[in-house]
Every structure is written in structure tokens, then in C-alpha cells.
Amino acid sequence: MRFMLIRTLIFALTLIPTVLMAQGRRIDTTMKVGKAGFRINCYNKSSEKNPITIYPVGFESEARDFSFELKGVLIGAEVDDLNKDGFPELLLYVASFDSLNKSSVIAISSQENKSVAPIVFPDILDDPRLRDGYKGSDKYMLLEGVLMRTYPLYEKDANGVQQPTGKMRRLMYRVAPGEQGTLKFIVSRFYDFQKK
């Protein structure tokens, strides 16, 4: 009886952190490039509806904080001057816990530290060159103004079941002018490599 109680207690203690991690941890941080940047506040309580508030820091007085709901969990954020105009851009990495285990980017650009505007991030499933072999598990990283996205590649076996190939794909995104003065991410290069 005592052994069963100890085993149940150990199981419960290992399960609780897993459940909490599935919801994510609260993120409340400030990131800047020079004197300007953003404060991000997100509780990560739900993967379905997740409120987030962004506070511009070091902006002119007309720039106000704003809130919206994420469909997913905020797993990270970075700030950099991606379009080389001397003002910061904010990248929010958002993971969905659906069957595809897909994550995405929400990007916000400073408009001369007076206001903010979204940067369009393309859906990987819209590009036939990139969606082949895609099954989520994305990792993101900024490197010298270039957004790197890496994910494992899969292929269907004889039974039609997706199996890992042992290869990874890396995409390199740059910010470019879009329509009507907007900004957008474009894939400037991608390549496959063997997973180590």
C-alpha cells in the first residue's frame, strides 16, 4: 500500500510540471535596441485564447500600448533593427499545440518611434517548395538581422505515415517592402542538411 502511494505521488509530481509547461510560462520582459524597444506581458494561460499586451518603450508620446489575443502560446520574443532604419522591430514566436505542432511569428515594426505597424509573415503551408516534408517543431533565431527558421523534415513511408528523414531544413527570412508601404518577410534562401 505504501509503495502504491509513493508511486502515485511520484507520478503526480512528474505530471504537474508537464501540464504547466503545456500552458507555457508567463512572459513579462522589456527588450530594446538603443533607447527604444518594447515591453511584452503575456500570461500564457491557454493555448486557445492568450491575451498579450505590448508597451512601446522610448517612443514618442502618441505611441500607446496595445493588446490582442494569440491563438497559441508565446514561446519567445526578440528585438532587432531588421529593416536597417535605426528603429526596433519586435518578433513574437508563437507555438500552436495542434496536430501539426506548428509555430509562427508575429512581427511589429516601429514607425520612427511614433507608431507601430505589423510585418507580414508568410504561412509556410502556402509555399509548395517549403511545405513538402513539413510537420512543425520549428525553432527560430535572429542572426545579424536575418530570421532563421529550422525544422525537421518528414516523408511518408509505404503505409502513408509521416516518418522523420533525419534531415533538417533551414529558412533565412529578410524584411522587404510590401504593398502600400507595409513590410513583409521573404525567404531569401533555404537549404537542407543532415541532423547531427
Higher-pLDDT residue of 70, 13? 70
What burial letters (b/e) apply to 17-34, b meaning 16+ CB within 10 Å?
eeeeeeebeebeeebebe
Query: Residue 82: its pLDDT value, please?
Result: 94
pLDDT band per the 50, 70, 90 thresholds, residue 14: very low
Mean pLDDT of 95-124: 91
- The pLDDT confidence band at residue 41, using thresholds 50, 70 and 90, is very high
Averaged pLDDT, 158-169: 91
pTM beyond 0.85: no
Among 56, 50, 58, residue whose Cα is nearest residue 23: 50
Taking the alpha carbons at both ends of the chain, their separation in whole angstroms is 46
Alpha carbon distances (Å) from 123 to 115, 131, 187: 26, 9, 11
pLDDT at 140: 96
Q: CB within 8 A of 115, min separation 6: which ones?
A: 62, 63
Average pLDDT, the chain: 86
Q: Which residue has the higher pLDDT, 185 or 15?
A: 185
pLDDT tens figures, 63-76: 899 999 999 999 99
Per mean pLDDT, which range of 9-23, 64-78, 85-99 is the poorest?
A: 9-23
What residue spans of the chain are helical by DSSP H?
Answer: 2-23, 128-131
Give me the percent of the chain exceeding a pLDDT of 90.
Answer: 67
Higher-confidence position of 161 and 21: 161
Asked if pLDDT for residue 187 goes beyond 60, the answer is yes
- Alpha carbons 16 and 107: distance in angstroms, whole number: 32
